[in-house]
Every structure is written in structure tokens, then in C-alpha cells.
């Protein structure tokens, strides 16, 4: 494994962990400073946005915007880490990771730029089709496609790479958990079973991804010493 590759893997793992930690802090901040918003219509959403500060929301979106590209860097390092007979699986995982990053980053960039600026300038006609708060909006559907199907498939193709010691087994099990949690969350979204989507995206995927990033930090630190 090339020195540059495990350095990229290490720092992408660190930054992914930080991004998740900031997202959790922002999630708590939103819960403490504003009531939970349930989508009804665009007018109610605009009233909510104008009345309650969007600082935590925008910070969380910014770090999630970075999350996709960082995840691609991590999977690329795992491709170099993979044994020769499993590199084809890691390559497929990298392709699905790229699709996930494109959809997720596009979604959050649209929220931080076009949606935010449209609200700021009062240009809101048709905006309900792009607002993240609307579970049936185009951008929310695209984001869910990335976080459920493509992230799930990326995880299910990369997990066979990790075999051997305890640290590798932890990463392996965590990726399996991500894969199945993503797919179950996708089913919940399509069938409008909100509790299924919430539990598996926030708790299942979130917890398992945090496990992957922290364990990956330890893995790449060990590789550097070796």
C-alpha cells in the first residue's frame, strides 16, 4: 500500500469523524433551539425559517456536503488496501461511492445555495420541489437515493475486503450494518414508513458509519507504523 494512500485514508477518516461529530452537535442544537418542523406547505416552512435561526441547519448541511467527497477518498484508500483478488469488489464499491457522493453533495449544495438564496430574495415560486424539509421534493428523493441505494451498495461490496484481526472484523461488520440499514431505510422512504427510514438512517447508518471512521483511523495509524 502506497504511503500517500494510507495518509489520505487516515485524514479522510479523521475528517469524516469530525463531520459526523459536528452533525450530531448541530442536530442537538436544532432540537434545543427550535421546535421540530413537520412539512405541511411552503408558506409554513418559510415562516419557520424566518422565525428560527438556521445556523445549526446550515452548518450541518455544509459538513454533509463535505462528507460525500471524503467518503470517496476513504474507499479509494481501501481499494489500495484490498488484496489483489478483492480489488474488483473494492473498485465496484468506489463506483457506487462516487454516485453517492455526487447525489448527496448536489443535494446539500442546492440547499446552501439556490434554496437559501431564493428564500433570501423572496423568489419562492416552485421552491417546495427543492426544499429538503419537504420529504417529497425532488432533491430529497435524490439525496435519499444516494444515502440508501448507492451508499448501501458501496458498503456491501467493500466489506469482504476486511478479514483477519479484530480491527478488520469491526470494520467488516460495520459496513455490513451500513449496507442493510441503507437498503431498509430506502424501503421505508419509498413505502412512506417514516419510522423505518428515521431509525435506520440516523441510528443504523449513523452509528455504523461512525464505527467505520473511528476504526479506520486506528487501521491507517497501524499501517503507518508498519
Q: What is the pLDDT of residue 195?
A: 92
Each residue of 108-139: pLDDT tens digit? 999 999 999 999 998 999 999 999 999 999 99
Residue 94: HSE in the Cβ half-sphere, 13 Å Cα cutoff = 17
Q: Is the pLDDT of residue 217 over 70?
A: yes
pLDDT (mean) for 60-85: 95
- What is the chain's Cα-based Rg? 18
pLDDT (mean) for 178-207: 94
Q: What is the pLDDT of residue 1?
A: 64
Q: What angle do CA 212, 224, 90 make, to 5 degrees?
A: 45
Q: What is the pLDDT of residue 84?
A: 92
Segments in the chain forming alpha helices (H): 3-33, 42-51, 55-81, 87-110, 116-120, 138-145, 151-158, 166-190, 194-198, 206-225
Q: Where are the domains of the chain?
A: 3-225
Q: Taking the mean position of all CA atoms in its chain, how far away is CA 168? A: 22
Average pLDDT value over all residues in the chain? 93
| Full DSSP string of 95-108 | HHHHHHHHHHHHHH
| Residues 201, 87: Cα–Cα separation, whole Å | 28
Cell numbers for 59: 452548518
Contact 165, 149 (CB under 8 A): no
Q: What angle do CA 99, 19, 6 make, to 5 degrees?
A: 70
| Residues 93, 129: Cα–Cα separation, whole Å | 31
Each residue of 42-56: pLDDT tens digit? 999 999 998 998 999
**pLDDT-above-90 percentage for the chain:** 83
pLDDT (mean) for 194-222: 93
Q: Is the pLDDT of residue 223 over 90?
A: no
Amino acid at each position: 500500500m502506497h504511503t500517500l494512500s494510507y495518509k489520505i485514508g487516515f485524514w479522510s477518516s479523521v475528517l469524516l469523524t469530525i463531520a459526523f461529530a459536528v452533525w450530531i452537535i448541530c442536530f442537538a442544537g436544532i432540537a434545543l433551539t427550535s421546535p421540530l418542523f413537520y412539512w405541511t406547505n411552503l408558506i409554513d416552512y418559510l415562516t419557520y425559517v424566518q422565525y428560527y435561526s438556521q445556523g445549526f441547519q446550515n452548518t450541518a448541511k455544509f459538513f454533509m456536503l463535505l462528507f460525500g467527497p471524503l467518503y470517496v477518498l476513504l474507499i479509494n484508500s481501501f481499494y489500495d488496501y484490498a488484496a489483489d483478488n478483492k480489488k474488483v469488489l473494492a473498485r465496484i464499491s468506489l463506483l457506487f461511492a462516487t454516485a453517492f457522493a455526487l447525489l448527496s453533495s448536489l443535494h446539500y449544495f442546492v440547499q446552501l445555495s439556490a434554496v437559501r438564496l431564493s428564500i433570501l430574495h423572496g423568489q419562492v415560486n416552485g421552491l417546495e420541489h427543492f426544499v429538503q424539509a419537504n420529504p417529497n421534493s425532488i432533491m430529497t428523493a435524490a439525496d435519499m437515493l444516494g444515502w440508501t441505494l448507492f451508499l448501501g451498495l458501496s458498503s456491501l461490496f467493500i466489506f469482504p475486503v476486511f478479514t483477519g484481526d479484530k480491527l478488520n472484523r469491526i470494520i467488516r461488520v460495520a459496513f455490513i450494518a451500513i449496507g442493510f440499514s441503507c437498503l431498509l431505510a430506502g424501503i421505508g422512504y419509498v413505502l412512506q414508513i417514516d419510522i423505518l427510514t428515521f431509525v435506520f438512517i440516523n441510528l443504523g447508518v449513523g452509528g455504523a458509519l461512525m464505527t467505520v471512521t473511528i476504526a479506520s483511523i486506528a487501521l491507517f495509524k497501524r499501517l503507518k507504523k508498519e
